[in-house]
Amino acid sequence: MIKVSILYPYREGGRFDFDYYRNVHMPLAAKRFGATLRGWSIDAGINGGPPDTKPPFVAAGHFVFDSVDAFYAVFTPAVAEELIGDIPNYTDGGNGTIFISEIDTLGQVEAAA
């Protein structure tokens, strides 16, 4: 399985509308990706590691597919144009950075005895 992540850098004073991103943009993308999409999630940046530091990213959106080919089959030029055209509705920070990764494992944490 692969994950397609879109990372939006943190900018002091930048605008990112999480309600719009969560309730409009991501469901729109999911609808366009159709049955090949295995799941999606979003992250809201809250910290950069050390206490009281800014996060490197204000947000990240993630989409899971069976393969890179499955993603590219649904991420057509028309879909890309529509989704990119929607970006100004939720951020003034540009398109973000796309990162495609292979999901290797998902670990589980066992409860302490």
The CA distance from 107 to 81, in Å, is: 36
- Please tell me the predicted confidence (pLDDT) of residue 110: 76
Which pLDDT tens digit goes with each residue over 61-106? 999 999 999 999 999 999 999 999 999 999 998 899 999 999 987 6
List the CATH number of the domain containing 86.
3.30.70.100
The CA distance from 89 to 98, in Å, is: 19
**Structural domain tally of the chain?**
1
Can you give the residue range of the structural domain that contains 34? 2-102
112 lies in a domain? no
